[in-house]
Structures are given as structure tokens and as C-alpha cells.
Structure 1
Amino acid sequence: MKELSDEQLMKEVAGGNLEALRFLFDRHHVYLYNFLYKMCGDEMLSEDLCQDVFYNIVRYRTSYKNGKFVSWMFTIARNSLSSHFRQHRAKNAPLDELPLQVEPPENETSENISQLQLALNQLETSDRELLILNRLHEIKYKELSEIVGSTPGAIKTKVSRALKKLRKIYFQTVQE
């Protein structure tokens, strides 16, 4: 089963073979956790939401329509994150106000990363989400358009605009 694609494994899960979910979990749980952590900045919440996403994959397995599995998984993740913050408004800051967590690459100084993190934190949540998925997780425009419910052309434009905003904010931060 390890050699099957994500989509083939998900077809197995949708058909009732829940053992196939273990392979999907092994392939994607770190990837998913990192996205959730970068969006909310809370390790425990990210772990809980990651488990919630895989629970919902099982729960809604019959609604899987043979599309790209990663797109479907991130759609569920986005919905889980939004639902959590809607349900827990009193306890949590709004998702728009949460700081982004970025780990420095080996060749970057912590000063550059902290300036980048400050700049990313100033972006709107939707822009930050697009940049995390597209630039950090390398999700292509077509898949990203499925995740956010748009067209690839519109997503490409939004990512480009978000990068321009990030550059402007970053260079203002560096100059200060």
C-alpha cells in the first residue's frame, strides 16, 4: 500500500479500508501540523487540529470526489481552523491577530527571520495563508485554487499581490 498515490489511498479509505488512512497520516501529518502551527502559533492547538482533520477525513470519506488529496486535506484544515476560532472567540484572539511562527533556515540570521516574521504578521490572514501554502509548502496555484475556492489565475494574482505587500512591509521594517 505504501507505493499507492495519495488519491489511490484515499479511494481505499472512501471504500471502507481505514487501514489506508495510516499511510496518508504518515505522509502528511507533519506537513499539516506545520501549516496549522504557522497559522495559529500554538503547538497544542495545532496537534489537536491535525487530529481533527484526520478524524474529519474519515468522517467525510464518502464525500471525497477523486480530486487531489492534498487540496481536499487543506480545505478541511482551513475549515477546522476557522471553526475553532469561531467557536472559541472569547478565549482566543481572532485568527487575523495571531502571529505567524517561522523557523529560520540554516543559512539565515535570526534577525532577518524576526524581521520577516514581523512583516508576515502585518499581512491579512488570507494573504499570509496563501503565502504559507504556496511559498512554504510549495502548493501549486491549481491546487491552491481548489483549497480556497477560486481560479488558478486569481490565486496567482493574489499571491503576487501578497508578495508585493510583504516586500513593502519587510523593507519598511528593515529600514526602521
Structure 2
Amino acid sequence: MSTLTDAELYERIREQDKEALEILYTRYERLLYSFSYNMIKDKQAAEEVMQDVFFKLWRGKGAGTYTESRGKFSSWLLTITRNASIDHLRKKKMEIYEWEERDSVHEQMPSVEEEIENKEERTELQAVIHKLPDEQQRMICLFYFQGMSQSQIAEACGIPLGTVKGRLRLALKKLKDMVAVERGIEIE
């Protein structure tokens, strides 16, 4: 059964197949834990977030539904983990790290990237992020890798919330288009 794809295992989990859940857990526990720990900086809380993500996956509640045509399973799982980590931070009212110039995407991508299994995709993602204007790189880093809300980014950067939303929206569109071009996919 371990030769099944993530999507096939996910479908089996939806049918309450415990073995499928165990296989996905083994495949992704380290990645999700590292990702959450990078945001929360608390081992026990990161473990709880990871467990919560798998519990949501098992229960089929709070995780949404994965659709293979919309992207990789691992990306979907990381998004759920990111949201659960942010929820944890908000509940604990922890102060989220403020942007410092030394954290520039030009110097080094956050260590979350190091945990992503596919080196080619990581390299591709780094390359396209580096092509973004600095202010858009900063928004992507703060929002996706440091877990800041759009309001927190606006406050930390001293810019209007609408500007943050616009830069994020534009950055994501550019990233999507650049990745499509890199992969030779026709853009709709």
C-alpha cells in the first residue's frame, strides 16, 4: 500500500482506512512538524499542531477537501499546517517575528524550504521568488514563511493594509505565471 500516491491514500483516508493514514503520517510528520516549529518556535506546540492537522485529515473536518487538479498534496497539507500554526499563535497571543532586513529573501530562503522533499521544485520556487520585486518578496516571506497576518504586515512595514493585499495578490499571480512558464504550461 505504501506505493500508492498521496491522492490515493487521501481517498482511502476519507473511507476511514487507518493504514492509509499511518502511511501519510510517516511520509509527512517530519515536514509538518518542522514547518510548524519554524513558525511557532515551541516543540510541544508544533507537535500539537501536527497532530491536529492529521486529526483534521482523519475526521475530514476543518481541512477542506484536497483536489489533485489544484496542486500537490504536500502543498495542500502545508497550507493546512500553516493555518493551524497561525491559529495557535493567535490563541496564545504570541508575538510574531518582525521583519528584519537581514532576513531578505536574497540572502537565504527560510529553512522551511529546506524541508521540502523535492529539490528541483525548491530550486524552481527560489528562482521565481528571486525574480519578484523586493517589496513582493518581502510580502511572500512575511505572510507564508513567518506566518504574519496581512494586518500585522501592514503594521510592521508601516504601509496600508490595501497595499499589503495588493502586493500579495500581485506576487502570487506573478509566481503562478512564472512557474507555468518554467514548466511550459499554457496560462489560461
* Runs (5+) with no aligned partner, structure 1: 98-118, 145-151, 166-176
Aligned to 1:83: 87
Q: Alignment identity in percent? A: 29
Shift in Å at residue 138 of structure 1? Answer: 5.2
- For the residues of structure 1 that align with 2:110 and 2:3, how far apart are their CA atoms? 30
TM-score by length of 1: 0.57
* Runs (5+) with no aligned partner, structure 2: 142-188
- For the residues of structure 2 that align with 1:65 and 1:85, how far apart are their CA atoms? 28
Q: Given the alignment of the two structures, is residue 134 of structure 1 paired with residue 113 of structure 2, yes or no?
A: yes
- Mapping for residues 25-174 of structure 1, pairs under 5 Å: 25-58=25-58, 59-60=60-61, 63-66=65-68, 67-89=71-93, 92=94, 94-96=95-97, 123=103, 131-137=110-116, 140=121, 153=128, 155=129, 157=131, 161=137
Shift in Å at residue 62 of structure 1? Answer: 6.6
- For the residues of structure 2 that align with 1:44 and 1:50, how far apart are their CA atoms? 10
Shift in Å at residue 137 of structure 1? Answer: 2.7
1:81 is paired with a residue whose SS is helix
Aligned to 2:159: none
Asked whether the equivalents of residues 34 and 112 of structure 2 are also in contact (C-alpha less than 8 Å), the reply is no
Asked whether the equivalents of residues 33 and 50 of structure 1 are also in contact (C-alpha less than 8 Å), the reply is yes
- For the residues of structure 1 that align with 2:28 and 2:117, how far apart are their CA atoms? 14
Shift in Å at residue 16 of structure 1? Answer: 3.7
Deviations 1:47-70 (A, max 9, x none): 111101111222346722124110
Shift in Å at residue 31 of structure 1? Answer: 1.7
2:97 is paired with a residue whose SS is helix
Structure with bigger RCO (C-alpha 8 Å, 6+ apart): 1
Query: What is the aligned length?
Result: 129
Deviations 1:61-91 (A, max 9, x none): 67221241101110000000111111221xx
Deviations 1:106-160 (A, max 9, x none): xxxxxxxxxxxxx89x538x99xx633334435636x97xxxxxxx95x454598
Tell me which stretches of 4 or more aligned residues in structure 1 moved more than 6 Å: none
Given the superposition, is the C-alpha separation of residues 156 and 65 from structure 1 closer, same or farther in structure 2, using an over 3 Å criterion? farther
